[in-house]
Structure 1
C-alpha cells in the first residue's frame, strides 16, 4: 500500500463532500421555493 493510494481515496472523499456541500448550499439559491 503506497501513499498515493490513500491520497487518491482522500481526494475522492473530499470531492464528494464538496459536491454534497455545494448541492446543499447552491441548489436552494438556483431553484428558489415558491
Structure 2
C-alpha cells in the first residue's frame, strides 16, 4: 500500500516536471516566432 503511494507520487512528480518543460519550450517557440 505504502509503496503504491510512493510510486504514484513519484510518477505525478515526473509528469509535473514534463509539463513544466513542455510549457517553457512552447513559450520559447512563441517568442522565437514573434
Q: TM-score, normalised by structure 1?
A: 0.69
Aligned-residue CA RMSD in angstroms? 1.7
The CA distance in 2 between the partners of 1:5 and 1:17, in whole Å, is 18
Structure 1: runs of 5 or more not aligned: none
Structure 2: runs of 5 or more not aligned: none
| Higher helix proportion (structure 1 or 2) | 2
Match of 2:22 in 1: 22
Match of 1:32 in 2: 31
Q: TM-score, normalised by structure 2?
A: 0.69
